[in-house]
Chains A and B, each alone.
Chain A
Amino acid sequence: MTTTAAAPPIEETRPEITRSRPQGIAVLPTLVLLLGALYCLFPVAWVVIASTKSPGELFRTFTFAPGVSIFDNVVDLSTYQGGIYWRWTVNTALYAGVGGLASAFLSGITGYAFAKFRFPGRAFLFNVLLAGVLVPSIILAIPQYLLLAKMGLTNTYWAVLLPSIVSPYGMYLARIYAAAAIPDSLIEAARTDGASEWRIFTAVALPVMRPGLVTVFLFQFVAIWNNFLLPFIMLSDDRKFPVTVGLYTLLNRGNTVPALYTLVITGSLLSIIPLVALFLTLQRYWRIDLVSGAVRA
């Protein structure tokens, strides 16, 4: 078999390599990758099919036999407790969207200060920050609850939003990115032009840091969207729940009202659609190399 167009040019200019390395499709690696892909798509395929089944069909018909009740299920879900499901999705978008944006901005300004200024206490403050990366946020959740309860902030939107804004890991990534992406000469030039420090940050540094900050935003967006314990302990009013906590309470009630299972499944499907879409559109802005330490801005 001849080399396909997808092969990198380096192989075409060196025909002698082909002697020891037969070209063509590597069947086994391709199969293994395909198996991995199918494994990962399997529950997604199931939830798509399961949400087309009526509550009666869910536990009766074959797993992958589709039903025709998707429309009824969505209507049932939308009318359940006056459409509370949609309130949950709006809450989730609010928590993850606003929290992610605030977190990215905070990480940006903090990372910039650490990367581009020399000042007394810099090493100490950064070490404290790094220690914060190590303290798992989930272990903080209960102390945070106790403290916010003292401040009378539990069961408010703030209880979930405020703790989500602080991301030591995001600040750490932003520092790496700022150090690699912003040349000192750029800042010096802006200073000699008489720009204020705040203006240098917003007009010079921020645009350069944008790819890194998009990554921080995406990480934090996913982390907040994923976080279950924090809203679970902070909120008691189900009108403030994010979708994860809401679906969990529905599942719990499903023990006594099995018809709710269909709502849980339909709700799961509807809640992952926007996130998957977001991932597929934003994945080229997602700088994984920041994590693996191979950043070359």
Chain B
Amino acid sequence: MTTAVDRVGRPVRRTTSRAVPYAFLAPAIVLFTVFLLLPIGYAAYLSFRRVQVKGLGLGPGSRIEVFAGLANYRAALGDGELWRGALRVLGYGAILLPTMLGLALLFALLLDLHRSRLRRFSRISIFLPYAVPSVIASLLWGFLYLPAVSPGQYLLRAAGFSEIDLMTSRTIYVALVNIAVWGGVGFNMLVIYTALRAIPHELYESARLDGCSEFQVAWRIKIPLVMPALILTTVFSAIATLQVFSEPTTLRPLTNSLSTTWTPLMKVYRDAFVRNDLYSAAATTMVLAVFTLIVSLGFLRLVQSRAFGQENQ
């Protein structure tokens, strides 16, 4: 067999089998189908079903699954608790996102200032909570909110003031936001900081020569240039916010301010596993999935417009 190889000149193209890329993609396609597409399809199917009980509902064959039309959706959307839960999550997100991303941007800009000291220590310390699972973060803060443990409350008592309850039905928002900020600010800071470091220095050296203050450099040059990173962190944080589950669930044993349906996802969990009403839980899941998909469609447009320039010939 002759091989027409010309290593110095143009390499001779050997036709690779057309099946190769599909073979490489096969495991991903199979797993993706089984664990993403099928579950969604199955949940969609269940959301249109209900159980019909015959007679007393005893014995085999007395409970059969029948088509329910849109009844589960009507019930899900007509349940005021779902909407109240959605409002609570939106309120929580409205406090969380500006606070966390504002702080992340501030810390990133300060890390980017060469005249700040202890930058390595601060960077690592602020990133550290990312290594703590949200359940454990909620657990630690939950204890720190308790009047008997909190050092702030201790000082208030020592100064003769009354304690502030950090877990009333109102302050619980602050309590939850604090946990999420603590866990998330470091990662977002690093993403923005990395984007800042990728900016060529010449871009703001001349502004400095023209007498711009560091604040003006940050506001007029750095922030506009890291806008893509800011949008990206916002979208990711928003998606994470909509699925908030583990923090309120973990805090529940420590307070009476959190119901079992405090967030829509908690309600889905209760419907499915406490009430064993899979059908209505499936309908609510579909509603949430569609809503989240709409919110994050902006992300799709964002990522498609970038990042793939270098591979298309």
Contacts and interface: CB of A to CB of B under 8 A. Distances in A.
Interface in B1-54: 3, 5, 7, 11-14, 16-18, 20-22, 24-25, 27-29, 31-32, 34-36, 38-40, 42-43, 46
Interface in A68-101: none
Contacts of B143: 46, 50, 261, 265
Contacts of A171: 28
B203 interface: no
A163 interface: yes
Interface string B125-164: 1111111111111011101101011110010000000000
B268 interface: yes
Interface stretch (B74-82, B168-176, B304-312): B304-312
A41 B130 CA distance: 12
B97 interface: no
Interface stretch (B63-71, B84-92, B193-201): B193-201
A150 B65 CA distance: 15
A133 B32 CA distance: 11
Nearest to A164: B35
Interface residues of A, number: 117
Interface residues of B, number: 121
Nearest to A246: B135
Given A37-B121, A46-B140, A288-B194, A125 B131 contact: no
A216 interface: no
A136 B285 CA distance: 11
B12 A228 contact: no
B118 A130 contact: no
Nearest to A115: B311
A153 B272 CA distance: 18
A231 B275 CA distance: 19
Contacts of B214: 21
Interface in A220-266: 222, 225-226, 228-229, 233, 244-245, 247-248, 251-252, 254-255, 261, 264-265
Contacts of A268: 136, 139-140
A132 B113 contact: no
A288 B226 CA distance: 14
B246 A197 contact: no
Contacts of B116: 25-26, 29-30, 33
A248 B33 CA distance: 32
Interface of A is mostly: helix
A15 interface: no
Contacts of B292: 134-136, 139
A180 interface: yes
A203 interface: no
B249 interface: yes
B228 interface: yes
Interface string A25-44: 11001101110111111011
B178 to A, nearest CB: 9
Contacts of B185: 36, 40
Nearest to A24: B115
A36 B246 CA distance: 24
B281 interface: yes
A172 interface: yes
28 contacts: A10-B201, A25-B117, A32-B106, A33-B119, A37-B118, A37-B122, A46-B140, A62-B154, A63-B144, A64-B151, A113-B21, A132-B36, A134-B297, A135-B36, A139-B285, A143-B282, A166-B28, A166-B35, A228-B133, A229-B246, A247-B136, A255-B253, A268-B136, A280-B124, A288-B190, A292-B232, A293-B232, A293-B306
Interface of B: 3, 5, 7, 11-14, 16-18, 20-22, 24-25, 27-29, 31-32, 34-36, 38-40, 42-43, 46, 103, 106-107, 110-111, 113-119, 121-122, 124-137, 139-141, 143-144, 146, 148-151, 154, 182, 185-186, 190-195, 198, 201, 205, 208-209, 211, 214, 228-229, 232, 239-240, 242-243, 245-246, 249-250, 253-254, 265, 268-269, 272-273, 278, 281-282, 285, 288-289, 292-293, 296-297, 299-300, 303-304, 306-308, 310-311
Given A37-B122, A112-B24, 8 more contacts: A32-B107, A32-B110, A36-B103, A36-B122, A106-B27, A106-B31, A276-B131, A291-B194
